[in-house]
Amino acid sequence: MEKSLSRRVILFPVPLQGCMNPMIQLGKMLHSRGFSITVIHTRFNAPRASSHPLFTFLQIPDGLSETEKRLHDVNLMLTLLNKRCESPFRDTLTKLLQSETEEAKQRISCLIDDSQWVFTQPLAKSLNLPRLVLNATKVSFFRGHFVLPQLRRERFLPLQDSEQDDPVPEFPPQRKKDIFRLLDEETEILDAYLNQIYEATKASSGLIFVSSCEELDQESLIQARQDFQIPIFAIGPSHTHFPASSSSLLTPDETCMPWLDKQEDKSVIYVSLGSLVTISEAEMLEIAWGLRNSDQPFLWVVRAGSVNGTKWIESIPEEVMERLKEKGKIVKWAPQPDVLKHRAIGGYLTHNGWNSTVESVCEGVPMICLPFFWDQMLNARFVSEIWMVGLHLENRIERNEIEKAIRRLFSETEGGEIRERMKLLKEKVGRSVQENGSAYRSLENLVDYITSF
């Protein structure tokens, strides 16, 4: 029997799609190594317990009102969740620890929760329970984003036109205009919250980067190890171990797949802006015309409620809808990992959420970058300027720009070169999760580390 068989790990995910998937994936990886898994989760955006019959799920109240659940400011929502969940989480965790016999109590090895929970560190310490922190962004973003309060204080606002493209040495490879968008949207609350995240991470027993590996983040990993002085694990693209769709909070429209089957190899542009981005009606129409005018077949995810002021796509005029249907399919939510794997997909117009970016890299799908907030701007710079496996729209949500980018990617020599570089990056990252690859070894080390508690 493996040493880990008698041990239990408690997971506490943040209730957002981009954070839920990696936490559940980590749970599956640890379960496959013999650990029992208990997931404590909020009522808001609760994971579907029936999809994971091997885990134990415990729900806690989160106290969010209906309005708060629709907050666009994710950091504000997270600070509220941190306040409201503290007491119910403490009660649940304490009960869990006490309910065990003295011998069985040893079996709860540790708590693994998201870096965005900050009250859990002092709580775990008081209960004498090791806490590991999971982070689902790129290591360079996690490391760099603690500099935001300093940048805000020092010199960033207002930004002159001539400075827009200047580099930001404190937070590479972003440009000043990227940072401006970050600082513009945030408030003083964020500065205090970031400081709490930093302290709670530094005091933890270790940091796990799911969806990152040496191949994608080598330099930042070296620096992060110096900054935090705790064990750091980069266990690689988590969705390559188990299908991510089982932790989807929305129901994927499976009709995408037979539709894709009918398309030619590498002919379809997939379009999705993730689970949080919202756009205006005018922007939706620009995207619609850009896609149609490119003449390339498209699969477009428009989340219900993601176009401000409308329920879905009802504001697209009927005659425009007719033209769109000639070439494309629009769905509310797609089985994205399967879609990106499909032979018909030739490009991905993306918001560059980190999960989506990594999923695209792992399937070798070149990108057109349209980032909106938070880590998306940094990820887009890596894709377009460091790895050079995509084109950047530079926030121009205009039909001509979108059409031009799709044509460049699908029809021109430049597109072929991008595709070639993407193929090499895919192979490199793919090797990291294979036996003795960097991510594979990191996961082994993590399992040994948890077993040692």
User: Shortest gap between Cβ of 333 and ligand UDP (angstroms)?
Assistant: 4
- Of 1-9, 269-277, 405-413, 425-433, the window that binds ligand UDP (rule: CB under 6 A) is 269-277
Q: Which stretch binds ligand UDP (CB under 6 A): 225-233, 341-349, 350-358, 442-450?
A: 350-358
State in angstroms the smallest separation of the CB of 204 from ligand UDP.
Answer: 22
Can residue 274 be called a binding residue for ligand UDP (CB under 6 A)? Answer: yes
| CB of 138 or CB of 176, closer to ligand UDP | 138
**95 and 77 in contact (C-beta within 8 Å)?**
no
Q: With binding defined as CB under 6 A, does residue 354 bind ligand UDP?
A: yes
Of 35-64, binders to ligand UDP (CB under 6 A) are: none
Residue 348 is a binding residue for ligand UDP (CB under 6 A): no
What φ, ψ does residue 225 adopt, rounded to 5°?
-65, -35
Nearer to ligand UDP, 22 or 130 (CB): 22
Indicate the residue among 93 and 279 with the shorter CB distance to ligand UDP.
279
Pairing of strands 108-114, 131-135: parallel
Label residue 332 exposed, middle or buried (CB < 10 Å: 0-12, 13-18, 19+).
middle
What is the C-alpha separation between 182 and 375, in angstroms, rounded? 9
SS3 state at 89: helix
Binding mask 218-247 for ligand UDP (x = CB under 6 A): --------------------------x---
Helix (H) or strand (E) holding 216: helix 214-228
Mapped onto helix, strand or coil, the DSSP state of residue 299 is: strand
Whose CA is closest to 438, among 218, 205, 112?
218
Taking the C-alpha atoms of residue 131 and residue 39, their distance in angstroms, rounded to an integer, is 14
Query: Min. distance of Cβ 67 from ligand UDP in angstroms?
Result: 21
Q: Given candidates 15, 18, 47, 390, which one binds ligand UDP under the rule CB under 6 A?
A: 18
Q: Which of 193, 333, 348, 382 binds ligand UDP (CB under 6 A)?
A: 333
Assess 359 for contact with ligand UDP (CB under 6 A).
Answer: yes
Is 337 a binder of ligand UDP (CB under 6 A)? yes
Q: Does 336 bind ligand UDP (CB under 6 A)?
A: yes
Per DSSP, 170 falls in state T
Nearest distance from C-beta of residue 330 to ligand UDP, angstroms: 11
Strand residue runs (E) in 13-136: 36-42, 56-60, 108-114, 131-135
Tokens of 222: 């070296």
- Could you tell me how many residues make up the chain? 453
User: Does 390 help bind ligand UDP (rule: CB under 6 A)?
Assistant: no
Give 156's contacts (C-beta < 8 A, 6+ positions apart): 176, 179, 180, 183
Binding site for ligand UDP (CB under 6 A): 17-18, 21, 244, 248, 252, 272, 274-276, 301, 333-334, 336-337, 353-356, 359
